[in-house]
Amino acid sequence: MRDAIARALEAATSAGASYADARVVESMHERLSVRTGRVEGIESGESLGIGIRVIAAGAWGFAATADMSAHGVRAAAAEAVALARAAAATAHHAPIVLSPVDAYRDTWTGPCEIDPFTIATEDKLAILLAADEAMRAEAAVRVSSAALDFLHVRKLFGSSEGSLIEQAYTESQAGIVAYAIGDGEMLPRSYPNSHGGQAVQGGWEAILALDLTGNAPRVGEQAAALLSAAPCPAETTTVIIDGSQIALQVHESIGHPTELDRVLGDEAAFAGTSFLGLNDIDTFRYGSEHVTVTADATVPGSLGSFGYDDEGVPAQRDFLVVGGVLTSFQSSRESAPAMGRASNGCMRADGWNRQPLVRMTTVSLEPGTWDFEDLIANTESGIYLETNNSWSIDDKRLNFQFACEIGWEIRNGALGRMIKNPNYTGITPAFWGSCDAVCSPDHWQVWGIPNCGKGEPMQVAHVAHGAAPARFRDVRVGVGR
Amino acid sequence: MRYSLENARILAERAVHATHADAAEAVVTSESSALTRFANNRIHQNVAESDTRLSIRAVLGTRTGVASTNRHDDEAITRCAAAAVEAARHAPEDPDFGGLPEAAPITAVSRVSATTAGYDADRRAEAAAAIIGQSSARGFVAAGTIATSDYAVAVANTGGVSAVMEADDLRATVLSTGLQGGSGWASFLTSDAASFSPSALGGRAATTAERSERPAALDPGVYTVVLAPEAVSDLLDFLGYLGFGAKSFAEGGSFLTEAIGTSLVDERISIYDDALSPGTIGLLFDFEGQPKQRTPLIAGGVAVGPVTDSYYARKLGLPNTGHALPAPNPYGPMPLNLELAAGDSTEAEMIASVDRGIYVTRFHYVNVEDPMKIVLTGMTRDGTFLIENGALTTPVRNLRFTQDVLDALSHVGAIGSQRALVGPGEGGATLATALLLERWEFTGQTG
């Protein structure tokens, strides 16, 4: 790895790059999936390659190859420089200026108590098959699924400024879903979260802690009960949203619009821009006084954590929103100068073959003071919503609509009858402005989101969000119901 | 550089021979791709990559396991094959697995173009400049991409399958942003870059942006809509993802499951999957090396059936339509070349026939609220206009819709005569027309 890095940097600078960095990324993954009693897949894979990013003639070029031979690496470096020159020759613009960063020679390793790749396949399948079967104890659950995913990444970053940083981490993910089918409806119920479950930096210990088998009967029962649950009323009401859905709400309506590359227009044609502008820092009211949001790459065990980002900037904890007021953006070395600051370390790439982009780390709604039971008891009328089922938001991150798997009426301070297919919609600042309560650290946890798409060519980032249940007033629910 | 056809075939066959199992299958995908990305009227990313992935499926009785790698030395192939066999050894027997498919004749269609292959970084930069020029001349801002992909795919198995093909494509997109809230979008996808006119593409987006300046508010509600092909492609893609695959069909989670032979939508609606259709792109065989076939999904408004692969064809007693994705995957067989049969109306004729309605250039961030009724929600974007008395009049701020798509396709006013190829490229794309739909529910608007 070190030889490849040195070779890439030497070739790039020799070809005329004023700056170069190179990342060698070696990864291995394993996935086991069970569906309705059938082992659907047992697969594993590995990948190795190098991505070389350069500035030449004032523009970026990036080339990546799986050919790790000396010739292959040098050719990729030369191609990166040629790409930069091509970009510069026909698109006149101010040369790229990077915010300063020290040169680091360091190593970082994520937490992992029990290496999941050492666990016998039979043991993994036993958990999946047991959970899958337990969900189907309910006859209405006609389809069930359970899956485990493991990833190990080892990467080495070097730059022409003298950094050489080696990092390694392991990710573990698990989830189960029961699908109740009847009367033209298919209603999912998931645990511990939808869209693949929960994902963390950690090992087999994290899977055991989820107790998939123990939770499966409840998941199946709730899925079956949804078929006869009440439809979501179409009204404007108070909603209390569980932590996992708050995590996605933060992701879509705070995480993405505070990415500085979106603010500056670099993602306009694909993911979109942001309703926020550079001048909004320290003045824009994002939400109520209860809304404080951090971007933190130092949270232990989070998918959003690392020692250094993919341009060698140390992991940091920054405040994006304090007491409802916007205070910062997630940035890179190139974009940070636009707000007169140094990078807060949010550049991440989806593997060796992608150029880093501004990506979320662990973007969290900081906990409040409420006990969950007290919050329900304090709510006269409304709906309690759990677990995301669908998400959509406009290109400026203002107009959103989320559907959840399940809800319960709240009447006179108590949870009432179950509601199926609940959804809600809103406009970002008004929605966060209506937040009048956030639950305490006792109810706060970090949710991994391993499927955040952005960029062209598409990149899928593994990010995370800390969240606790929170309450919002005057929210429109039951849209299109 | 990607592998040649012959080297891709050799690698796949090496992998099959290295796999000590009852049966084995290898899939090689080798690709060189490049993408020039521009925003704020400048190129801000210029990237290229090359990679070759090998995936091996090992079969022991009715047990299967899969392993993959992007290393191709003997040791790596041996390790990958052993991992696949080891996975199969741990898998339970699957009585529905009928073995790997046998070789079948594949229709030869050229999917490579010398012009596309020659579309290098300098050509892409020139194209970006031409696109940008159409916006900057109006004082507008352009963003978008010009991307090329050149790939070879080889599939081999112990049953005699040895399928190989190569293809390339070019995709360009442009978003033009005006000075007073207007924006316009245009995209282009082709296997032959000779037909690509960057300035025309840039001009189309900039013209729409100009026309959509100063958008007005409009009350949400049920409107007649004219959807441009790019918006229609979203609807087709979700129908394909949620309902046209044999897996959801077999599980009872598809709108097709209880509807075969019954009228599902307007009788003028016919939807096919056809990788051999003139003008489309993508693979001529699936990831089991089986030939893709023109597969009717909805014909004259009547539900016909799903696409299949070898597993679901056997399980359901249906023909294998050649729509396997790489094994294993959570989706089952999928249609990658959907097309809506053309009608007889031009887009101008559709607009002229509407007293009051909305024209939609494209949707943004569409997602599923009900997977069986195909209730979708999403936003309009980059060119939404009020139609009054047969003409586009006021540009409209972006609207959110929440709509039952099958219901919308049951109230068709007209179907476009011109089809556009829409999609991300690499493996497939959707041939869509414009559609005039009599009822479409907008449920919100960004203020």
Residues B76 and B201 in one domain: yes
Token code pair at residue B443:
């449920």
Last residue of a domain, one of B159, B179, B207: B207
- For A352, the token pair is 């060796």
* Those residues with Cβ within 8 angstroms of residue B110's Cβ, 6 or more apart along the chain or in another chain: none
Yes or no: say if A347 and A310 are a contact pair by the CB < 8 Å rule.
yes
Residue in A395, A424, A425 to test binding to B, most B beta-carbons within 10 Å: A395
Q: Which of B44, B251, B443 has its CB closest to that of A266?
A: B44
CB neighbours (10 Å) of residue B58? 29
Q: How far apart are CA A305 and CA A297, in angstroms?
A: 4
| Distance of alpha carbon A468 from alpha carbon B219, whole angstroms | 35
Tell me how close the Cα of A45 comes to any Cα of chain B, in angstroms: 4
Is the Cβ pair A480, B329 closer than 8 Å? no
Across the interface, do A479 and B367 touch by the CB < 8 Å criterion? no
Contact B411, B266 (CB under 8 A): yes
Instruction: List chain B residues with CB under 8 Å of A265.
Output: 39-40, 141, 143
Q: pLDDT category, A91, cuts 50, 70, 90? A: low
Tokens of B42: 């400048």
Q: Which of B178, B207, B236 is the last residue of a domain?
A: B207
A379 has a pLDDT exceeding 70: yes
Give the E-state strand segments of A229-377 in sequence order: 230-231, 235-241, 293-296, 317-322, 325-326, 347-348, 357-358, 363-365
With H, G, I as helix, E, B as strand and everything else as coil, classify residue A360.
coil
Please check whether residue B402 is in contact with residue B395, taking contact to mean a CB–CB distance below 8 angstroms. no
Question: Can you give the residue ranges of every domain in chain A?
Answer: 2-228, 231-477
Which residues span the domain enclosing B256?
Answer: 215-447
Per-residue confidence (pLDDT) for residue B54, from 0 to 100: 98
Last residue of a domain, one of B185, B207, B229: B207
- Residue B107 or A131, more confident: A131
Distance CA B33, CA B51 (A): 9
Query: Do B368 and A390 lie within an 8 Å CB cutoff?
Result: yes
- Long-range contacts of the stretch A376-381 (C-beta < 8 A, 24+): A376/A240, A376/A410, A376/A413, A376/A414, A376/A415, A377/A413, A377/A414, A378/A413, A378/A437, A379/A238, A379/A240, A379/A410, A379/A413, A379/A471, A380/A238, A380/A410, A380/A411, A380/A412, A380/A413, A381/A237, A381/A238, A381/A410, A381/A411, A381/A412
Describe chain B by its helix, strand, coil percentages, rounded to 5: 25, 40, 35
Side-chain-side CA neighbours of A30 within 13 Å: the count stands at 24
Q: Please tell me the predicted confidence (pLDDT) of residue A95.
A: 81
CA A370/CA B335 separation, integer angstroms: 49
Contact state of B445 with A399 under an 8 Å Cβ cutoff: yes
Over residues A333-361, the pLDDT tens digits come to 999 999 999 999 999 999 999 999 999 99
Contact B121 A82 (CB under 8 A): yes
Q: Give the type of residue at B420.
A: A
Residue in A closest to B328 by C-alpha: A41
Q: Give the distance from residue B312's alpha carbon to the nearest chain A alpha carbon, in angstroms.
A: 13
B22 plus B42 within the same structural domain: yes
Write down the H helix ranges in A264-419. 372-377
pLDDT by position in tens, chain B (length 447): 899 999 999 999 999 999 999 999 999 999 999 999 999 999 999 999 999 999 999 999 999 999 999 999 999 999 999 999 999 999 999 999 999 999 999 998 889 988 898 899 999 999 999 999 999 999 999 999 999 999 999 999 999 999 999 999 999 999 999 999 999 999 999 999 999 999 999 999 999 999 999 999 999 999 999 999 999 999 999 999 999 999 999 999 999 999 999 999 999 999 999 999 988 998 999 999 999 999 999 999 999 999 999 999 999 999 999 999 999 989 999 999 999 999 999 999 999 999 999 999 999 999 999 999 999 999 999 999 999 999 999 999 999 999 999 999 999 999 999 999 998 766 789 999 999 999 999 999 986
Interface test with A, best of B1, B149, B365 (most A CBs within 10 A): B365
The residue of chain B with its CA nearest to that of A94 is B42
- Tokens 């070190």 belong to residue: A2
Contact check, Cβ <8 Å, A45/B68: yes
CATH superfamily of A2-228: PmbA/TldD superfamily (3.30.2290.10)
Q: Give the three-class secondary structure for B345.
A: strand
Stretch A216-234: mean pLDDT, rounded?
98
A93 close contact with B: CB closer than 8 A? yes
> ipTM of the predicted structure?
0.96
Domains identified in chain B, total number: 2
Provide the CATH number for the domain around residue B29. Answer: 3.30.2290.10
Order of strands, sheet of A325-326, starting from the edge strand that comes earlier in the sequence: A325-326, A317-322, A293-296, A363-365
Residue B39's nearest CA partner among A192, A267, A145 is A267
pLDDT at A94 over 90: no
Handedness of CA B235, B240, B241, B247 (dihedral sign): positive
Phi/psi at A234 (5° precision): -95, 105
d(CA B40, CA B17): 52
Nearest CA of chain B to the CA of A377: how many Å?
30
Measure the CA–CA gap between B314 and A243, rounded to whole angstroms.
43
Residue B180: exposure state from Cβ atoms within 10 A (0-12, 13-18, ≥19): exposed
Same domain, B80 and B185: yes
Both B57 and B125 in one domain: the answer is yes
Angstrom distance (rounded) from CA B422 to CA B236: 11
**Position A242 pLDDT exceeds 80:** yes
User: pLDDT exceeding 70 applies to what percent of chain A?
Assistant: 99
In the DSSP assignment, the letter for residue A251 is: I
Q: Using the predicted structure, report yes or no on whether residue A90 has a pLDDT greater than 70.
A: no
Check whether residue B362 and residue B446 sit in a common domain: yes
Helices (H) and strands (E) in chain B, counts: 10, 17
- Residue A278, chain B, CB below 8 Å: the answer is no
- The predicted structure's pLDDT at residue A48: 98
**B389 C-beta neighbours (distance < 10 Å), count:** 9
- Quick check: B281 and B191 in contact, CB under 8 A? yes
B191 and B245 fall within a common domain: no
Q: How far apart are CA B183 and CA B379, in angstroms?
A: 14
Sign of CA dihedral B197, B198, B201, B206: negative
Residues B360 and B424 both lie in one domain: yes
Q: Using CB atoms, which residue from A35, A184, A399 is nearest to B373? A: A184
